[in-house]
Amino acid sequence: MQMPPEHELRDYLVHHLDLIEPGLRPVQTKEYRLPNSVGAHGQVDILARDRHGVWVVIELKRSTTSSRQALHEVAKYTELLRREKQLAADRIRAIIVSTDWHELLVPVSNMARDWTHDLRGYHLQLNSQGTPACAERVSLLQPSFEHRISPIHVIYTCSTEASRREAWQLISSHARTIGADDILAVEFARVANFNSAAYHYGIYFAIGRVDRTVENYTLDDHYDGPEPFAAENPAEYDALCKICNYLSYHRTGFGELEGAVPGSLRTIAEDPSWKLERYHGTGAFNTLDAYEESDLFRLLTGDDRGQSQIQFSSTASPAIRSRWNGFKQEVETSLSGNAAWHAIFTSWLSDAASHAGEGDVALHIYNPCDLLQSIVTGWPDNLDKYLPMVQGVVQAENGYSNFIYGHLAWDGTSTDLRDAVKIVYGERLNWIAKQFGGVTWIDDELLLELVGLRYVATELVGVNPSGDLAAEKRIWLFDGKSAQVYSSRHQPQHFGRALNEISRSGRLFGAKDFLRLHHASTEEIFLDYKG
């Protein structure tokens, strides 16, 4: 059968639109010409209305070569029609009808998923005379499975390089066997303090997301791993259980298994006794050539998605909407367990988007939600490094910048730190147990309340390119329900009251000031809890 010319197919279909969809009716029987004041004009093959009165742009293609033009024309004509008729996005849709979907399926699937307008495809079937017989709705491709790293991690330490090498072989082979195809791992080794540990070699690995449409997993509670994430990631947790049980069964001369969570790798990397050596991967991470080492580190620490809920650094532009939405979600995830900063910086990001335009927003977050851990790790000389903080900047397209700093502010109350810690945690083992269970953030709220510390943020707005100080300052507070912002420029009296609320005699004191003013109690707590 010889394929009829495209115009003949169009002329037939315009009178038989019910072949495509019941209720479609043509606006006119000839091609619809669209003027264009901002570029080339165009002609819609068939302009129709559906049974709900929605305008429908229908493009017809009859060959592989011509089908490649379909998306360009649909996007162009839809935009021109919106401008001509002043239509809302939900009042216009598009249909591509083609006799050949070889070139169309992938790009139409992508566009239909991400486009503002409804987009559908139909495969036109012709009879032996070359007349359209029917049009079958094309099943577009589902979104591809995102092979990202889950928060299900484990540390495996061993006595020799050979046993570590064998452990990786067992891990990677068994992971593929059970359907957990994507594993990312890094080897590390002890480089100092050799007498302080029995095992000098280790491998840190994380389970990639398991495609549950392929494997139907149920929870297996035989392995005592990172419980806080198990309920949210049942398939990945079960895969980890099976891998670890497999390792335990086969290991000879190996070492110890220890559950880990996003952020644990950073602790190893920052310990001068250990050195990260090389990365390995399976499945989606089998080829690591395209990654930089910093990319792999961020994937395993959870920084890439804010999963560590302790530390996060990233940048984005509000003008790139898809990335901006992902960035906001990552920030929210990283601030889990901190209701005050979660509310403050969620609101701040909305405000930042209105100022940035085509510019950029950057955030660095350190959110341990564990003041006691900050003391034990940072006292006395490294408090700046380990106390909770957020640093953010909006670099607007006009060159002006906003700078925000999140910190713990002290209201000047004189509650003894030692007494407050004993009330909240009691013995050191109770604190360790709560750390292991991932619930220190609950007790941290009480500890901060007892000693008069609260999460706040202060902001300089509109610093000009020359670096002169901004004309406006802001204080962001959390009232227990939502974020409140007070401006020195627009609400000077409210700003003053907010400053008094979080300051002592008009001076802003932070957690570092509080700890140093309570030096004796802090020193005693440090000695009691550092272990």
Answer yes or no: are the C-beta atoms of 185 and 204 closer than 8 Å. yes
Which CATH fold would you assign to the domain 6-137?
Answer: Trna Endonuclease; Chain: A, domain 1 (3.40.1350)
- Alpha helices (H) in 197-302, listed in sequence order: 227-230, 234-250, 264-270, 293-301
- pLDDT computed for residue 214 by the predictor: 61
Structure tokens at 271: 């310990």
Please state, in angstroms and as integers, the Cα–Cα distance from residue 368 to each residue in 335, 338, 409, 480, following that order.
Answer: 9, 9, 16, 20
Answer yes or no: are the C-beta atoms of 394 and 401 closer than 8 Å. yes
- pLDDT computed for residue 45 by the predictor: 94
Instruction: Give the orientation angle of helix 234-250 with respect to helix 161-177, to 10 degrees.
Output: 130
* Whole-structure pTM value: 0.72
- Strand-pair partners of 135: 124
Return all residues near 434 (Cβ < 8 A) that are at least 6 apart: 425, 440, 442, 443
Return all residues near 466 (Cβ < 8 A) that are at least 6 apart: none
- pLDDT computed for residue 237 by the predictor: 87
Provide the strand spans (E) within 396-517.
Answer: 401-410, 453-463, 472-478, 483-487, 509-510
Instruction: Give the orientation angle of helix 428-436 with respect to helix 519-529, to 10 degrees.
Output: 70
- pLDDT computed for residue 234 by the predictor: 85
Measured CA angle at 259 (ends 257, 261), to 5 deg: 145
- pLDDT computed for residue 227 by the predictor: 55
How far apart CA 513 and CA 510 sit, in angstroms, is: 5
Place of tokens 């479609």: 24
- pLDDT computed for residue 222 by the predictor: 47
- Extents of the domains making up the chain: 6-137, 149-301, 311-529
Which amino acid is it at 286?
N
- pLDDT computed for residue 217 by the predictor: 46
pLDDT along the chain (531 residues), means of 10: 82 94 93 80 91 94 73 92 90 94 91 91 92 93 84 90 92 90 94 86 92 57 53 84 85 74 87 94 90 91 79 90 90 92 97 91 94 93 94 91 95 85 91 79 93 94 76 92 93 86 74 92 91 67
Q: Which helix (H) or strand (E) holds 520?
A: helix 519-529
- pLDDT computed for residue 251 by the predictor: 67
